[in-house]
């Protein structure tokens, strides 16, 4: 948990350092990291006090989808970026339905799994877009690092959160053990985001100098 | 319980492998794309270079033909005319004398023009000799004052570089005469350590950014490309009301 908070703080610190060079897409990602950090801290605090904390993560997951999804819209080209706002609207509806069915104090796992799949597909599109339509080497593109972080975390979260309610109700110890995979992927995601911010700032500096 | 745990771990690993596969495929596609773009850019550069070389060769050939025509045909005709006038001078010296002087000047101008167009002369007399010839010609025209400085050492240049430097010099002088409305041109050439030629005028000047933004200045762009082709560093400084300065240096 501490490594997750440290990881997110590192990404956020580097984002703040490079802030003036970041484009709107990366500023959205920075906001998403800040929200995630707050949610992790507050959720953990509520958990320690023995209170419901799933509602915090429900809100965080929605913010994750909207901010990361909108960043994908800004990073990819036509026609995908035209469809993204409608998809985000549709998935917000799905979130509302999931909350309505399971309640606000239960983690909206089905919404989260479907949003993970959506984000993975969107960021694969971003990667394809950058690899086929940009003349730069793909590792010099900040979007590449962001896409890898998103695909890695959200892609690998699908099996665990797909079985989340089943595991929590029947095998709570196993659920807690498996949650570690998810947490470490989240930790791994943070340096990738930090590299993304640094690459974006470097690219912007080069552009301004040119 | 273990089965479920293993199933989750295995499916996570499977997804991880799939992601790695997708990412590697994208990396390979990008690498190919970048390499393709690099070769296309290289081909364009080569094509442009080839085009400029051919253009230069054609221009030199045309100039050589014009120069020969001036020397062998027009020059001869003018000389014959001068000889006829010399004969006429005995009968009507008051009328013919001034005409004969003008004709002598014309013959001299045509000869100098012919030399300035002929790069064989450039080989024989060097860049210094050719610029000196051009300075004499311009002084004779009397349209502006030329301030010519030279350190006395013929710069060490390859044949193509010499031809290109001289043609660029001619273009700059031509621009100063046609557009700048300059009263003075300052030419400074150094050949001792490294070739450096600077041409400065006190004309009306211009804003290069505006000129290029308006799609004008094709001659200036052409000079830049030609200098690059001959591996000569070309620099231009200009501002409205402050004249223009051009510098040619060896890289």
What pLDDT, on the 0 to 100 scale, is given for residue A203? 83
Q: Tokens for B122?
A: 């450039």
* Residue to substitute from A121, A131, A132, interface B, most B β-carbons within 10 A: A131
Which CATH architecture does the domain made up of A2-209 adopt? Up-down Bundle (1.20)
The domain ranges of chain B are 128-251
Reference A28, options A173, A196, A206; nearest CA is: A196
CB contact under 8 A, B26 and A152: no
CB contact under 8 A, A137 and B19: no
- Put simply, whether B15 touches A (Cβ < 8 Å) is yes
Chain A hits for B19, Cβ within 8 Å: 151-152, 155-156
Predicted confidence at residue A88, as pLDDT, reads 94
Residue-wise pLDDT tens digits, A142-190: 999 999 999 989 988 888 888 877 888 888 788 888 888 888 888 888 9
Helix, strand and coil percent figures for chain A, each rounded to 5: 85, 0, 15
Residues in chain B within 8 Å Cβ distance of A151 = 19, 22-23
Contact B27 A152 (CB under 8 A): no
Give the chain B residue whose CA is nearest to the CA of A133: B33
In a 13 Å sphere around the CA of A183, the CA atoms on its Cβ side amount to 13
Bridge-partner residues for B190, per DSSP? B196
User: Residue B146 forms beta bridges with which residues?
Assistant: B185
Question: Strand, coil or helix: what is A78?
Answer: coil
The residue in chain B having the minimum alpha-carbon distance to the alpha carbon of residue A131 is B30
Q: Tell whether B6 is within 8 A of chain A (Cβ).
A: no
pLDDT of residue A132: 78
Asked if B33 lies within 8 A of A131 by C-beta distance, the reply is yes
| Element counts in chain B: helices (H) and strands (E) | 7, 5
**pLDDT-based confidence at A86, cuts 50/70/90?**
very high
CB-based contact B30 A137, cutoff 8 Å: yes
| CA A140 to mean position of chain CA atoms | 21
In A65-89, which positions are buried (b, 16+ CB within 10 angstroms) versus exposed (e)? Answer: bbbbbbbbbbbbeeebbeebeebbe
The answer to whether residue A119 neighbours chain B at the CB level (below 8 Å) is: no
Chain B positions in Cβ-Cβ contact with residue A183 (cut-off 8 Å): none
Residue B1 has pLDDT above 60, yes or no: no
Looking at CA atoms only, how far is residue A135 from chain B in angstroms?
6
Judged by CB atoms closer than 8 Å, whether chains meet at B26 and A174 is answered as no
The reply to whether residue A132 touches residue B29, judged by beta carbons under 8 angstroms, is: yes
Nearest Cα of chain B lies from the Cα of A132 at a distance, in angstroms, of: 6
**pLDDT given at position B245:** 93
Query: Cα–Cα distance between A168 and A190 in angstroms, integer?
Result: 27
Q: Which of A122, A135, A164 to mutate to test the interface with B (most CBs of B within 10 A)?
A: A135
Taking CB atoms and an 8 Å cutoff, what residues of chain A touch B12? 156, 159-160, 181
- Provide the chain B residues 16-55 that lie in CB contact (below 8 A) with chain A: 16, 18-19, 22-23, 26-27, 29-31, 33-34, 37
pLDDT per residue as tens digits for the range A34-45: 999 999 899 888
User: Residues near A68 by Cβ (< 8 Å), separated by ≥ 6?
Assistant: A28, A29, A32, A119, A150
Please report, in angstroms and rounded to a whole number, the separation of the first and last CA atoms in chain A.
43
Strands B196-201 and B184-190: antiparallel
What sign does the CA torsion over B30, B31, B35, B36 have?
A: negative
CB contact under 8 A, A130 and B30: yes
Are the beta carbons of A10 and A190 closer than 8 angstroms?
Answer: yes
- Quote the pLDDT of residue A34: 93
Which residues in A lie closer than 8 A to residue B17 (C-beta atoms)? none
* Model confidence at A66: pLDDT above 90: yes
Mean pLDDT of chain A: 87
Q: For chain A, what are the domain ranges?
A: 2-209
Residue in B15, B23, B27 closest to A156 by CB: B15
What is the pLDDT at residue A209? 63
Q: Is pLDDT at B128 greater than 60 in this prediction?
A: yes
ipTM of the complex: 0.74
pLDDT tens-place string over residues B152-169: 888 888 888 888 888 899
pLDDT digits (tens, 9 = 90+) for A122-145: 999 998 888 877 777 788 889 999
Residue A208's pLDDT band, with cuts at 50, 70 and 90, is: low
Torsion of CA A153, A159, A160, A165, to 10 degrees: 140
Residue A210 has pLDDT above 80, yes or no: no
List chain B residues with CB under 8 Å of A189. none
Q: How confident is the prediction for chain B on average, in pLDDT?
A: 85
Task: Indicate the residue of A134, A136, A152 with minimum beta-carbon distance to B19.
Answer: A152
Exposure on the CB side of residue B138, measured as CA atoms within 13 A: 26
Average pLDDT over residues B229-238: 88
Distance (Å, whole) CA A80 – CA B172: 53
Q: How far apart, in whole angstroms, are the C-alpha atoms of residue A177 and residue B142?
A: 95
Pick the CATH number of B128-251 from 1.10.287.3510, 3.40.710.10, 3.30.565.10, 3.40.50.2000: 3.30.565.10
Inter-chain touch B19–A155, beta carbons under 8 Å: yes
């Amino acid at each position: 948990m501490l490594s997750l908070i440290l990881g997110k703080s590192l990404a956020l610190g580097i984002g703040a350092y490079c802030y003036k060079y970041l484009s709107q897409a990366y500023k959205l990602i920075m906001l998403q990291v800040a929200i995630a950090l707050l949610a992790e801290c507050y959720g953990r605090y509520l958990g320690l006090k023995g209170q419901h904390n799933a509602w915090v993560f429900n809100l965080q997951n929605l913010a994750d989808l909207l901010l990361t999804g909108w960043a994908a819209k800004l990073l990819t080209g036509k026609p995908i970026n035209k469809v993204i706002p409608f998809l985000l609207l549709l998935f917000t509806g799905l979130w509302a339905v999931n909350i309505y069915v399971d309640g606000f104090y239960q983690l909206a796992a089905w919404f989260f799994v479907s949003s993970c799949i959506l984000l993975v597909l969107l960021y694969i599109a971003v990667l394809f877009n950058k690899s086929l339509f940009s003349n730069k080497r793909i590792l010099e593109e900040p979007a590449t690092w962001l896409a890898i972080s998103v695909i890695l975390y959200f892609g690998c979260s699908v099996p665990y959160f797909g079985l989340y309610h089943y595991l929590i109700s029947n095998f709570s110890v196993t659920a807690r053990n498996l949650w570690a995979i998810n947490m470490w992927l989240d930790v791994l995601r943070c340096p990738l985001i930090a590299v993304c911010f640094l690459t974006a700032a470097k690219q912007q500096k080069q552009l301004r100098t040119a | 319980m273990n089965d479920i745990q293993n199933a989750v771990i295995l499916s996570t690993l499977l997804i991880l492998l799939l992601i790695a596969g997708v990412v590697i495929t994208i990396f390979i596609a990008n690498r190919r794309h970048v390499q393709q773009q690099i070769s296309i850019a290289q081909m364009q550069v080569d094509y442009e270079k080839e085009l400029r070389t051919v253009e230069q060769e054609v221009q030199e050939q045309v100039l050589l033909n014009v120069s020969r025509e001036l020397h062998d045909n027009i020059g001869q005709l003018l000389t014959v005319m001068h000889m006829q006038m010399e004969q006429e001078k005995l009968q009507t010296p008051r009328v013919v004398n001034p005409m004969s002087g003008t004709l002598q000047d014309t013959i001299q101008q045509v000869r100098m023009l012919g030399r300035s167009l002929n790069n064989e002369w450039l080989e024989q007399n060097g860049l210094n000799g050719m610029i000196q010839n051009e300075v004499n010609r311009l002084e004779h025209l009397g349209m502006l004052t030329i301030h010519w400085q030279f350190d006395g050492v013929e710069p060490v240049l390859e044949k193509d570089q010499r031809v290109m430097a001289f043609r660029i010099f001619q273009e700059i002088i031509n621009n100063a005469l046609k557009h700048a409305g300059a009263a003075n041109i300052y030419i400074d050439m150094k050949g001792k350590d490294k070739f450096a030629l600077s041409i400065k005028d006190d004309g009306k000047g211009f804003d290069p950014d505006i000129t290029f933004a308006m799609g004008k200045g094709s001659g200036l762009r052409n000079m830049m490309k030609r200098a690059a082709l001959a591996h000569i560093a070309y620099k231009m400084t200009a501002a409205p009301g402050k004249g223009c300065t051009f510098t040619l240096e060896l890289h």
